[in-house]
């Protein structure tokens, strides 16, 4: 768990970086997503460790489940679309689910990319 927390201290700011950039510019968003893919590919051995941790460390799964809601909450301070995911009503709940799905799929795609054999190109 200490290893995971150290790695999370490095990667979480990368996930939150879009909040400090011009998130309305598609080129900026593409560059941010590319940076996340590159980072995860460079850390591919950590991914293997995390898969193994998920099978033997019960706290690991609980901690991973906290990551996306935390990202949504923090980005809500800077990006209106994520701020709209706050609240209890059906609109806020729908926006929260959309935000969660966005990060879930992005994380999964980063992981799948990192776990494939390296070919030097995407």
* pLDDT tens-place values along the chain, 122 residues long: 889 899 999 999 999 999 999 999 999 999 999 999 999 999 888 888 888 888 888 888 889 889 999 999 999 999 999 999 998 999 999 999 999 999 999 999 998 888 877 655 55
pTM of the model: 0.86
Residue 104: per-residue pLDDT: 94
C-alpha to C-alpha distance for 7 and 47, rounded to whole angstroms: 10
Look up tokens 């494939």; give the residue: 116
Closest CA to 46 of 110, 3, 2: 3
**Residues 6+ positions from 20 with CB-CB distance below 8 Å:** 78
Residue 119: per-residue pLDDT: 52
Residue 114: per-residue pLDDT: 86
- Is residue 19 within 8 A of residue 74, CB to CB? The reply is yes
Whole-Å CA distances, 6 to 45, 77, 82, 105 = 15, 24, 26, 23
43: which DSSP letter? T
Residue 118: per-residue pLDDT: 63
Residue 121: per-residue pLDDT: 52
Q: Output the six-digit token pair for 52.
A: 């193994």
Residue 76: per-residue pLDDT: 96
Look up tokens 């995911």; give the residue: 85
User: What's the chain's length in residues?
Assistant: 122
């Amino acid at each position: 768990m200490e290893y995971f927390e150290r790695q999370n201290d490095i990667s979480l700011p990368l996930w939150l970086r879009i909040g400090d950039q011009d998130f309305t510019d598609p080129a900026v968003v593409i560059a941010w997503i590319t940076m996340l893919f590159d980072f995860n590919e460079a850390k591919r051995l950590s991914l293997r460790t995390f898969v193994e941790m998920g099978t033997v460390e019960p706290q690991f799964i609980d901690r991973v489940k906290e990551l996306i809601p935390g990202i949504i909450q923090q980005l809500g301070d800077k990006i209106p679309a994520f701020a709209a995911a706050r609240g209890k009503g059906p609109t806020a709940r729908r926006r929260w689910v959309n935000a969660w799905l966005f990060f879930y799929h992005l994380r999964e795609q980063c992981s799948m990319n990192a776990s494939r054999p390296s070919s030097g190109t995407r």
